[in-house]
């Protein structure tokens, strides 16, 4: 069984309806967090998910609306009374993650230094496809068209099921390859049709990626506020023939 919990379906633009980007993924006894905008710890709590349950945190890139809760997360691991872990949290992102973390230490000092063995930082090459085995999962990545450190991830189970997270991206052939035949593609769709933003996708572009990749289900997210005033479904459906879901905060999908 795979469970997706949308913690934030919006962007860095403040919205009453949508929190910033963050998604929780549960599969094969592992709990993953993909991106963590400011306020993600509270979103986790509201969703009934303990941050202490996180095994892996994946960051798609280093923009504030995607990594803004890293410092508060580490702070919480240090100063929550009774906080204990049997194994460390793995924080994974592109090359530059460790340098980014050092900048947090320069800003906040020892307050964001986790206790020994509680948090491990791992970098993935940002200029090429990569894969890593974190038993029982395989995590594959590919660069996307957003920033030099932007990555999309494919998380695969031991029985062959998979979920792909695009992060922020423009139209990207590498993402189509990564998402081939996946059970669920979680794909950004930042702007309505006719309101193209460089480095992001419109509904028709998102639909083409999903159709070309032959994905089984498509979950659109990362909506700027004006997306809520337009029809996103119709232009996407004209291109992609499979099931389409528009993300909302605290939406849960199980398959």
The domain that holds 206 is classified in CATH as: 3.60.15.10
Is the bond preceding residue 136 a cis peptide, omega within 30 degrees?
Answer: yes
pLDDT reported for residue 83: 78
Number of domains forming the structure of the chain? 1
Residue 127 lies in a domain: yes
Smallest CA-to-CA distance from 49 within 86, 81, 22 is with 22
Measured CA to CA, the distance from residue 228 to residue 255 in angstroms comes to: 27
Whole-number mean pLDDT of the chain? 97
Residue 253 lies in a domain: no
pLDDT reported for residue 114: 86
* pLDDT per residue as tens digits for the range 90-141: 999 999 999 999 999 999 999 999 887 789 999 999 889 999 999 999 999 9
Residue 254 lies in a domain: no
Give the model's confidence band at 82: pLDDT under 50 very low, under 70 low, under 90 confident, else very high.
confident
For residue 157, what are the CA distances in angstroms to 130, 188, 205? 17, 23, 28
pLDDT reported for residue 86: 80
125 vs 174: which has the higher pLDDT: 174
Give the model's confidence band at 80: pLDDT under 50 very low, under 70 low, under 90 confident, else very high.
confident
Asked if residue 219 has pLDDT above 80, the reply is yes
Domain assignment of residue 105, given as a range: 2-247
Measured CA to CA, the distance from residue 9 to residue 16 in angstroms comes to: 11
pLDDT reported for residue 213: 99
* pLDDT per residue as tens digits for the range 178-204: 999 999 999 999 999 999 999 999 999
């Amino acid at each position: 069984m795979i469970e997706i919990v949308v913690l934030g379906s919006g962007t860095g633009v403040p919205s009453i309806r949508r929190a910033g980007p963050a998604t929780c993924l549960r599969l094969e006894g592992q709990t993953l967090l993909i991106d963590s905008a400011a306020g993600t710890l509270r979103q986790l709590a509201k969703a009934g998910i303990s941050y202490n349950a996180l095994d892996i945190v994946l960051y798609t890139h280093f923009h504030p609306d995607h990594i803004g809760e890293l410092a508060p997360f580490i702070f919480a691991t240090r100063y929550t009374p009774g906080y204990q872990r049997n194994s460390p949290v793995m924080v994974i992102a592109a090359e530059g993650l460790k340098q980014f973390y050092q900048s947090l230490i320069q800003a906040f000092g020892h307050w964001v230094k986790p206790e020994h063995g509680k948090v491990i930082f791992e970098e993935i090459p940002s200029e090429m496809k990569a894969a890593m085995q974190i038993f029982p999962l395989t995590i594959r990545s590919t660069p996307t068209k957003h920033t030099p450190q932007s990555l999309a991830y494919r998380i695969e189970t031991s029985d062959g099921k998979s979920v792909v997270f695009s992060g922020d991206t423009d139209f990207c052939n590498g993402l189509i390859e990564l998402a081939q035949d996946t059970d669920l593609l979680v794909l950004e769709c930042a702007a309505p049709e006719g309101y193209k933003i460089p480095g992001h996708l419109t509904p028709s572009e998102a639909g083409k990626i999903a159709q070309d990749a032959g994905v089984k289900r498509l979950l659109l997210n990362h909506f700027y506020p004006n997306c809520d005033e337009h029809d996103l479904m119709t232009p996407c459906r004209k291109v992609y023939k499979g099931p389409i879901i528009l993300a909302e905060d605290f939406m849960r999908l199980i398959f």
